[in-house]
Amino acid sequence: AKMDANILTKKWLTGPLGMKDSRWAVRPWQTSVRTDANRYGFATTARDLARFGILMLANGNWEKKNVIEDKAYLKAAISPSQKLNPSYGYLWWLNVNRPKTAGNNRGGRMTFAAPADMYAAKGALVRRLYVLPTQQVVITRLGAQPAKDFDSQLFKRLKQAITK
């Protein structure tokens, strides 16, 4: 595209969605010696991240504009992308049933308490974007590292709140 990553992202995605507080940022802890992560990370706010989730719920449309035109890709992105781990789509984690394997002796869904059609973007420090299509709900979570069972507890409590 021959554009700076921030200019390209603003033109194609963050600009049309009104994501004013999102950008690509250099990760200062990432060096040429460490190769366990990308040199850049996407810095955003919970509100901006929620806008992206709403775009996914709307099948790539935003305010009557088609922001993501490739609907086949959107469908594929939230479908299992390979057999090794059917919980992984294209950059999305899926809450589908998965078989027991050597690396996953539990099997079943990623988050049992969450709806089966939920999919999520998962980042460092348990930063999350949950999309619940049946409920038409988007949930974001940023902040410090929570307890290990955060996902499970969140959806158990959400389910209790909805049924009361």
Instruction: Answer with the residue of higher pLDDT: 1 or 117.
Output: 117
Share of the chain above pLDDT 70, in %: 88
Which pLDDT belongs to residue 2?
93
More reliable by pLDDT, 59 or 33: 59
Place of tokens 């410090």: 144
Which pTM value belongs to this model? 0.85
* φ, ψ at 160 (rounded to 5°): -65, -40
What average pLDDT is seen over the chain? 87
Rounded percentage of the chain residues whose pLDDT exceeds 90: 56
Give tens-digit pLDDT for 1-45: 899 999 999 999 999 999 999 999 887 766 666 566 677 888 899
Cβ neighbours of residue 82 under 8 Å, at least 6 residues apart?
88
CB 112 within 8 A of CB 125: no
How confident is residue 101, by pLDDT bands cut at 50, 70 and 90?
low
